[in-house]
């Protein structure tokens, strides 16, 4: 697919925890003629979906293999521990990894945190998914450390979560195949980066091709207006010069009369009587 082709839709993959709603809304406002299709995928499968051409771009969790994929880091998530509401940790605002040392901490197979060594006491078996691990926490089996978005995604009334100050953090990125940076991918990159619709790289393809300059009529009108200004100024200067000249010449107009009343003739000495 070349950058000039316009596909019938834009396919966007996203991993659990990512909420693409606001970006989809902006897309629909700017490119209403090109539907955006959402594809929920697991964090482990996201890269294969992009490489296989099943999605044009996707929200993934770092790290990304830059050999054949491009990526723009977007934000870093807070890491939290999911606990029952009656657990001692539920009464504080923040805990450390050391605070979890005596607890059984579940480590699901789809864990997205890059642990050098998972915290707490390990369980006999690793849950298959984060959703399974949340169910075990609700059953009182152990605790679970995850990115905050996943704790929100699997929210339960009988559970809560608390920030973990020194745990690894998950970073979310927009990724796409390096050799498939199409016009629509560029459009979505602009939306995610907050470019306005007036930005050259943020416009739909048809709008981006429009010339930036004014129309010939507008440019011509501007020149006509500019051409008229010197004539007006010149007339004003001529009028002022004429007025000054008349004021300096006592023999012309009212200036002359004024000069006569003041200067009337030479003063002579009074004659002596004969």
Say whether domain 79-164 belongs to CATH 3.40.190.10. Answer: yes
Cβ neighbours, 10 Å, residue 90: 14
Structure tokens at 203: 């416009």
Phi/psi at 77 (5° precision): -95, 150
In this predicted structure, the answer to whether residue 235 has a pLDDT above a threshold of 80 is no
Instruction: Report the pLDDT averaged over residues 60-85.
Output: 96
Q: List pLDDT tens digits, range 150-179.
A: 999 999 999 999 999 999 999 999 999 998
Contacts of 113 (CB under 8 A, 6+ apart): 79, 145, 146, 147, 167, 168, 169, 170
The whole model's pTM is what? 0.69
- Please tell me the least confidently modeled range out of 30-34, 116-120, 245-249: 245-249
Alpha-carbon torsion, ordered 237, 241, 242, 243, to 10 deg: 100
Query: What residues does each domain of the chain span?
Result: 10-76+171-208, 79-164
| Residue 73, strand partner residues | 173
Banded pLDDT at 196 (limits 50, 70, 90): confident
Q: Are 162 and 90 in contact (CB under 8 A)?
A: yes
pLDDT in tens, 204-225: 554 444 444 444 444 444 444 4
Residue 175, pLDDT score: 98
pLDDT at 26 over 80: yes
The pairing of beta strand 79-84 with beta strand 143-147: antiparallel
What is the average pLDDT value for the chain, to the nearest integer?
A: 81
In this predicted structure, what is the pLDDT of residue 237? 54
- β-sheet bridge partners, residue 261: none
What topology does CATH give the domain 10-76+171-208? D-Maltodextrin-Binding Protein; domain 2 (3.40.190)
Between CA 130 and CA 19 the distance in angstroms is 17
pLDDT at site 7: 56
Q: 10-76+171-208 with 79-164: one CATH topology? A: yes
């Amino acid at each position: 697919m070349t950058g000039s082709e316009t596909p019938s839709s834009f396919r966007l993959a996203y991993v659990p925890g990512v909420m693409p709603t606001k970006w989809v809304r902006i897309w629909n406002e700017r490119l209403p003629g090109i539907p955006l299709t959402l594809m929920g995928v697991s964090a482990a499968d996201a890269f294969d979906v992009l490489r296989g051409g099943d999605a044009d771009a996707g929200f993934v969790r770092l790290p990304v293999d830059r050999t054949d994929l491009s990526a723009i880091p977007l934000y870093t998530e807070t890491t939290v521990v999911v606990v029952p509401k009656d657990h001692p940790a539920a009464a504080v605002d923040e805990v450390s990894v050391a605070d979890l040392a005596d607890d059984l901490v579940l480590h699901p197979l789809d864990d997205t945190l890059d642990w050098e060594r998972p915290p707490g006491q390990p369980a006999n078996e690793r849950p298959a998914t984060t959703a399974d691990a949340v169910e075990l926490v609700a059953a009182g089996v152990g605790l679970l450390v995850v990115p905050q978005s996943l704790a929100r995604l699997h929210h339960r009334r009988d559970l809560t979560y608390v920030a973990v100050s020194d745990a690894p953090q998950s970073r979310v990125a927009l990724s796409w195949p390096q050799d498939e940076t199409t016009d629509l991918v560029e459009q979505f990159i602009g939306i995610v980066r907050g470019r306005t619709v007036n930005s050259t790289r943020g416009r739909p393809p048809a709008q981006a091709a429009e010339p930036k300059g004014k129309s010939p009529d507008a440019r011509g009108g501007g020149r006509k207006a500019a051409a008229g200004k010197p004539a007006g100024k010149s007339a004003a200067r001529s009028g002022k010069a004429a007025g000054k000249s008349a004021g300096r010449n006592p023999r012309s107009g009212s200036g002359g009369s004024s000069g006569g009343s003041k200067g009337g003739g030479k003063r002579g000495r009074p004659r002596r009587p004969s």
